[in-house]
Structures are given as C-alpha cells and as structure tokens.
Structure 1
Amino acid sequence: MDGAALNFPFVLAWAAPFFVLSVAAEWLLVSRKKIAGKYEKKDAFASMAMGLGNLISGLLFGAIGLSALFFVWQFRVFDLGYSLPVILLTIIVQDFLYYWKHRISHEVRWFWSAHIVHHSSEHYNLTTALRQPWHSEFTGYVLLTSPLVLLGFHPLLIVFIASINLVYQFWIHTEAIDKMPSWFECIMNTPSHHRVHHGTHPLYLDSNYAGMFIIWDKMFGTFVAEQSDIENTYGVVKPIETFNPIKIAFSEWVAIFREIFAPKLSFTQRLGYMFGRPGYSHDGSRQTSVQIKQNYYAQQKSGDAI
C-alpha cells in the first residue's frame, strides 16, 4: 500500500460535527417556523440511529469492501497516481459511476435491500441524509466500483472522493431551500432535484439518481424536474411503518429470504425475488415502479382523451 495513499483524511469524521450542528439548527428553525420543513421526533431519532449504526458497521466491516477493491487493484491496467489532475478527474468519474451504482440499487432488489433504508423515512430533512444501511458490505455493492480500480484509480483515492461525494449530498436533504441559481440547478444536484428522487408520486419514481452532478440524469433520460403543482410525499411505495432501527435495517432483507424460499416457486421466480426489480411478484400481486409509472401515464392519457 503506497504511503502517499495513507495521507487522505477521514472526511466523514471531520464532517460529523457539522452534520450534528446542521441537524440541530434545521430542527430548531423548522420548529419555530422560520424555514420550510417538518420534523417528527421518532422518525428523526430513527434516522440518526441508522446513521450511527452505519458508522459502526463501516468501522467493523468496511475492511471487507476495501480488501475486495485491493484484490481487484492487482489487475489494474494503469496506475494513475494521486496528482491534482487525477484527483479532479476522480471527482467526475466517481460521480459518473455513482449515478450507475445508485440506479442499479433501485433496479436490482438485492442492492435495494440496503438502499431502501435511505428511502424509508416519510419526512425529508437533514436527518434523512443520515438514514443509511448497516449491511451494504455484505451485498457485494462495493464490487460495482471495480471498473475504476481496474482503470488505475487507487482504492483509497476512490474511498476519499466517495466520502466527499457523500458529504456533498448531506445538504440537499432539506425542504428549507427551494431553488438554487438557475446555472447551479442546471449542472449540480440540488435539494429541488433530490426531493424528486425521494418522492413517491408516480411521475417522480426512477429519477434523479445523481450524486453531485445532475448532468448524468439529463444525459441518460432519468431527469425529472420538481413540479410546483405536485404535493410531494416521501418514503417508499409501500411504507415500512416502523421507527425500530433494527426493522428499518433488515426488514427488506428478511422479506427477500422469506420470498425466495416460499414453496412452489420455479428457480426463475426465486431469482426474480432476489435480483428482479423491487416490487417483482411472480403472480402479479405487486407492481414495480416501471409498472406504476406505466399505469399512471395510461390513466393520464385516458383522462386527456375524455
């Protein structure tokens, strides 16, 4: 392991006091009706508990994912080093990869089993940013980073930049900010764009996967602008209806294993419950987000025809 790579700061540790102070400030200002937003005590504390659990699980099991990336590092095509141009390039390519990883985590239930934690709150405030999974290391999600490692971006550099990306996304989890300047909204991910991503309205599903740069969604057809005539609700299509951190962390994982081992299913159906889209059902008893959107557009078209 190169000595230069060890000098990257632990970004999240430095950011933690800022997170706490920002949550306290937003919560106070929302309670005094100085800014837009809503806090529900049980929900907020559940989100913060999820954030603490994520930090602990990262300390306990983070070496699993990092070891996997260092294994891949042996087969790299290049070694790009740690120069300033490479660091700046890493910010861009890591965010590009984040877009696809994030999108996959919405389209493959196995990865969704961890990511659903972040979407499970029915409120949208800074504590929502802290609501993070506890078992990502065991889903193999980190292996989706392998292409960057093979191209010569050092694993520790990627982890450092990914931490910066995560810190950036903290501030966009708020209703207190309506719109940023138009040039900023055009290029960067903002509270307005990310509120859409967390929304449950059919128009908002499967959209705005960006981490820092919203341009990826615009390039790949997943951008949806926030609509002033839509009263947004947050969470997941089927609410989890619990503030218990353990249930929040593992309920989807438990559901997956219960369904794949249900009797009288074919092998293909069992695979569908694990690796199909969230909402997959072999008997049509549930709908995926794609089906929900299709039905919504069909109803809209039918209404226009009338």
Structure 2
Amino acid sequence: MALSEAEAREFAALYAGLVDNVSTALLGKTSVIRLSLTCLFAGGHLLLEDAPGTGKTALARAIAATVAAPGSRIQFTPDMLPSDITGVTIFDQETRGWDFHHGPIFASIVLADEINRASPKTQSALLEVMEESQVTVDGRTYATPQPFMVVATQNPVEQAGTYRLPEAQLDRFLMKTSVGFPDREHVVEALQGAAAPDRSKNLAPVTDGPTVLEWSQRVAETYADRAVVDYVAALAEATRDSAHTQLGVSMRGAIGMMRCARVWAAAQGRAYVLPDDVKALAKPVWGHRITLEPDAAFSGVTTSQVISEALDTVVPPSRGEE
C-alpha cells in the first residue's frame, strides 16, 4: 500500500525531531545529519571521508542515542583480524561444546573507524554483513540487530599505512559524504561548552529501533512515478556512457537511489518522489560508485563533475509527465 499524505506528514514530523536532537551533538551540520538519517531509514550504510576531529564519531553516537539503539565502535588497525569484527567460536571446557562469542559488529549502529587502515582480508569481513545483515562463522549464520547501519570513516589526508577500499566494498555503502568543519558561529558555541565536548552522551532518545524499522517499511512505499524511475535509470546510464568513466553507476547504485529518494521525499512531508529529490541525492549516493578513466583522473576530472554533466544532459520529467 502506497504511503498516504497523512503518513508522510507524520514521518516528516518524526524525522525533523530526530534531526533536531542529533543537531545538539553535531552543531551546524544539518545537511549531513539529514543524509545520515535518510541512509538509516533506507536501510543502508554510510561512508564518511573527512579530516580528524570533525565529529564523525559524535555523529554515529548521536544517531544511536537518538533512536535508542545499541552502538559499537571498531578501531581498524593493520593487525586486525576478521574475527575481531565478526566474533569467534570458542570451545567451552565445562559444557564440552562450542560457543560463539559475538564481535562488535553485532550492534545497530556500528562505527567502523578508519576502515581503510585494516588489511583487505579484514575489510572483506564486512562484505556479507553489510549486504545481508548477517554473519557466517564456522558454517553457522547469525543475524545482526535491526535496524543495522555501518558508519565507516576514513582519513583523506593521511594515506601511509592504509589500504584503499575496493570498488565492490565501496558499492556496499549507500552514501558517501563528509562532515567538514562548522562555521565560526558554531565553533564558538562548541568551544564555550568545551568542558563537556561529547554532547552525544547526554542525548535523550526520540524514538526506538522498532519504530525506525516500521517507518523504514512504510516510507519504502512512497510513490515514484514511472517517469521519475526512468529519469534515475537514464542518469545512471549517462554516467556509464561518459567518456571520463571506466565504471559508472551500477544497478545497486540505481536501486539505492530509489530507496533514498523515497525516504527523502517522505521526510519533506510528501507521499511522492520528485526529480528534485534525485538531484539532491545524486552526489552523495553515486559519487563513490564511479571509477574514472586514468587519463581523466590525471587531468583533474572528478566524479562530481561526471554526475553534474549527467544532470545537465538528461532532461528531467516535467510536472505533467510525472
């Protein structure tokens, strides 16, 4: 059943309350918070690429506190093993049986800090859980708590001792964005409260996990006209046909766009998706999924430019076509 206008308005009110609550811990970053919450309700994962000290950890903690969901933090290092993430099966001398000890991945909001510092083998431990919300260890499968979102971070300015995320893993992230430094007004406000720098620890919950799951299912039914869906398909095709790209937006990327656009529309109190919703989300949802041709990258072309060209080239449906 399609989302009704009344339900869209109800969801928009809840969404606004969540944004306001998280904003008390991450000052002046409403746009990033909105993207993060859209990612949560769309059932996806978020990659934050930013300099140290911009509030990436605070964002993950604030979201977990706001939705009253268990959170965990994994500090990735070069010597980390896959079992340090997923957990390990240990033989119990008393029961004479094997017991599975859950790893830190078994939480609703998982902060994967400096994910690119772990080896590719360890990074691959996240592939199954990010796609299937489950972990397989020694032939047995264990489901993660729901809702489930990985918020991974990486530092763009220090590459020594890091391992670049492969395209297959990047494609598992629904969005990629950055927090960035706040403006001076919010810096001053934060400095005035520097005695208690982590405001996420004092946040009161606004909703809970079951409610997030319920609304995730409802907003997934937000109406999207065939013309809007065709617009998304045409944009994805344009990125693949670009002379600058070696690899354009995948089918997973196009599907992810529709999931995000439905949430984004409902968060604004609408029960239908507009082309403007797609335009607003194009770069955070697709920017990390595009691989440039070496010559294009060398000449300074960026994935943002490729997406901008696609948005300029593909004509969006008019109001009468939707």
TM over 0.5: no
Structure with more strand by fraction: 2
